[in-house]
Each structure stands twice: as structure tokens, then as C-alpha cells.
Amino acid sequence: MTPAELRVVREHLGLTGDWIADHLQVSPRTVRHWEDGKYPIPDRIRIAIEQLEQTTADVVGAGVDAYRDIPDPATVPLITYRTDADYHTHHPEVSWPASWHRAVCARIADEVPGLTIDYWLPRAGSPECT
């Protein structure tokens, strides 16, 4: 994995360098050095990044499948979250940030014509998201 590939994949997944660092149990400075080409990217990091990509692809695929069964996807907006706090309130089991969730929603919308995306609003009866 090249420094550019690491950064491009990280950004495509909607993840910050700090989140990646925490997830990989390294310092944010180490991630910056990998992306700047100052340090070689260890093979274990490449494997971990590929696992993040696969997990994300699986979530996107499940979302696409769910919305393809809806006759008019525009009538059932895909809900995402403005903040990590909102996302983790609804999905405490998930360690991903809200930025990742928004990136997932964008990829689902790319595959489902007419799909709309809305933010979750804190009110009773609000729909849940993937």
C-alpha cells in the first residue's frame, strides 16, 4: 500500500487520521507519517485497512439491497447523523464515526436512483438508519 493509497482509501471511507490511528492503536502522527511517505506502511496496516474497506462494502451492499426492494426510494429517506454523539446514541455498539456513516449513505445513494438522504432529527418516532 502506498502513502497515497492509504490516504485515498481513508478519505473514501469518510475516516479521519485520528480515527484510523485510534482504531489501529498507533499515534495520529504515525498515520500522518505513513500518508506523507516518511515511514513505510506495515503489512498488518494494509490488511487492517482492507478489512475496513470490506466491512464498509458489506454495509453499503446491504443498504443497496434494502432500498432496491422499495418501489419509490424517494418516499423512504435514508437517515444519517450530523454528529458522532447522535450516531452513537442510536448505535452504541458501533465504533465508526458519523462521517463514515455519511460516506456509506453517499455510496448507497450512488447505487439507488431517486434515493434521498436526511439527517436524523431528535423527535419521537424518528426512523432508524442502517
Query: pLDDT of 45-71, one tens digit each?
Result: 999 999 999 999 999 999 999 998 899
Residue 101 and residue 13 in contact, taking contact as beta carbons nearer than 8 Å: no
- Cell output for 31: 498515520
| Segment 66-97, tens digit of pLDDT | 998 899 988 999 999 999 999 999 999 999 99
pTM for the whole structure: 0.88
Which phi and psi (to 5°) does residue 15 adopt? -110, 145
pLDDT for 130 beyond 60: no
| Segment 13-44, tens digit of pLDDT | 999 999 999 999 999 999 999 999 999 999 99
The three-class DSSP label of residue 63 is helix
**CATH number of the domain located at residue range(s) 3-119 in this protein:** 1.10.3100.10
CA-to-CA separations, 5 to 8, 9, 12, 34, in angstroms, rounded = 5, 6, 10, 10
Residue 56 and residue 9 in contact, taking contact as beta carbons nearer than 8 Å: no
The pLDDT assigned to 35 comes to: 98
Share of the chain above pLDDT 70, in %: 94
The pLDDT assigned to 29 comes to: 98
